[in-house]
Structure 1
Amino acid sequence: MAGSTLGTIWKVTTWGESHGKAIGVVLDGCPAGLKLEEADIQEYLDRRKPGQSKFTTKRQEADQVEILSGVFEGKTTGTPISMVIWNTDQRSRDYGNLMEVYRPGHADFSFDEKYGIRDYRGGGRSSGRETIGRVAAGAVAACFLKSLGITVTAYTRSVGPYEVKAEQFSIKERDNNSLFMPDKETAALACEYLEEMMGKLDSVGGVVECVIDGVPAGIGDPVFEKYDAALAKAVMSIGAVKGFEIGDGFDAARALGSQNNDGFCQGLNKEVEKITNHAGGILGGISDGSQVVLRAAFKPTPSVAQSQKTVTRLGEETEIQIKGRHDPIIVPRAVVVVEAMAALTTADLLLANMASRMDRILAFYGRPAAGDVEGSL
């Protein structure tokens, strides 16, 4: 299977299935000398693990990470970092009735058409459990970015029709409710709505917003390797993401040029700054020094207990009621996954950017610029 690797320099390969023995990741390209402990990674994994509230699957997994290579005496060695998380609470029997039937909204049919074989136990590689490897690698990327003064912060912007209000926004509130919403009042309303939908055996979608602070201007390339394009690819690769925005996103299509343009001004240190940030911190595919703001739209969990029409692998029409343990909403546990993908992308582009200018290469290697070399023309 191709397509399990992301990145150019900061390269990540995930492996494993939902009901296999383990989930894991290999991270290559992380510089040597970064301080790293398993606890740094566990903090991120704990934010996405199941069974933490009534709005997550009841599957009980410790999701305890083990670093197998690439770290010695608390620092990265520059060699591949391999990490594993063992599966301990699989209930494959819950999926026995799905062997010959395609679940609506899932990848069962398309996976079967592509490979002619599929792991029907929870979706295999198509399962949301695959994101454990992404989060583990993203935690390492976040540590790397933090050492450069860059932070990545995501949160639930909306659940169904309930969206965080700007005047009630408090990032400190994010970790105080089970939906990871930075708005206490809206979170309470969203919880009531979720309980109502759960009572109807239905699921709910929502939007995750992510803010990247401290990214210097000049990251990303102007054509195929745009910063926003790379972020879009990374975030859209998360299962259940159906929409992506940077800055004002689709609202920009309804604005006038005079409204959408971000004027420039001189900052406190006589540096160039923007007056507004409709562009979301990226101009022409290159970071402009402002906050990078992105959003990901997640569809409702496709596994619902209602009776749904479908077909068998032989094309025979039938109905199915999905059993097992499923999240009634994906969004809360996906918040840290979006953070991870944003961190991985940013780390990769930062490393790639080191080779973009000759003067910086010369400065790094302690060489004089060409015009300063004695006898140069």
Structure 2
Amino acid sequence: MGKLDKLKSQIPQGSQELSTKNHLAKTEIAMSFQNEGTELTRILLRNIEFNPHNLWSCNDDDESIQQLADAIERNGLLHNIVVSQREDGTFMLLSGERRVKALRLLQKREQESDPTGQKAHKWDRVQAQTYTGLDELSELIILDEANIMVRGLSGDAKTIQACISRYLDNLQAKFQVDRRAAEAYFKSRTQMTDSTVQRYTQFDKSLIDDVKEFFQNGTISHAQALSLCPLEPSEQILYVNAINKAIQMSNGDKALEHTYVTRITDRAAQAARMTNGREAELARLEEAIIPPVHAKPAGDVAVRTQKATLIRKYEKVTFDLSKITSSKRRLNSLRKMDAADGDGSIVESLDKLAKEAAELADLLRNGQ
């Protein structure tokens, strides 16, 4: 990225004083010069190295690679791969890992059909957009941007979040821009909706490292982590302490740990939505691990627990539905989905659910 660095050196120093708008303009100008440092070349497939930093590698299964190989054999390679040429003559892959895996599968087929090696093999070489002179930070930026643009939301939440977080960090480090400018540039380079972009960027901005770690190690889901974003850092510490106690009390029992964590997270998320009484609610987080049992006849405890479970499930359903009904965009999206898919109807399912709920309420009300 020689031209990119040269351009950067010509920009006046004192970037801390630049506005976010100027930061974004600077990033867009610099990134627009990337393609000037590349050329299309035909390179040997065996000289291409898979990038160890590609977060999506684990999502490529044999069946999808087989299907891609068949498609390339029929139609040829429709999109060039992107590589960074190293001083030792090898090429580090920046975009197109699935395509290279498919090409190597085609190459293997050719070699098996020609054990003597006397024929010219079609898939030994591939045309690639080749960068020269890139530093490791620039390679990572191009790698992650390619995945974000091509793969979008096709991976799991953990992979997507890790990729976006690293991409934003590297944009800031490479071009000395603030977070808002990095996020604005990211929005300009993705097909994700604004609300989706906001979810993934909010994760980085709002959550403390300990909560992020709970998500990364699978203790809580991405949705659960996002529900905690409205909490202040000091309030999130109370949540972290409660979760750590729950994990300790579960004594290695994963099912019990999941139950405890869910109880605490539900209460913390409820507190996050509160404008009044949040502090008191958070102060009682540890009580959610094992809710206190009131002095009632022993036979009544199981009934009351079942009742509380039903009410909690009802509250969750109504909360989820309220999020949909409060958004015109989500309602319009559901209408389009319902119109496009003839396999069942969302409206009919909701009507049936409402009818069954009303019938159950009547039975309970009438004591039957």
Provide the TM-score with structure 1 as the length reference: 0.20
Q: Which has the higher helix share?
A: 2
Provide the TM-score with structure 2 as the length reference: 0.21
Higher relative contact order (Cα pairs below 8 Å, separated by 6+ residues): 1
Structure number with greater Rg is 2
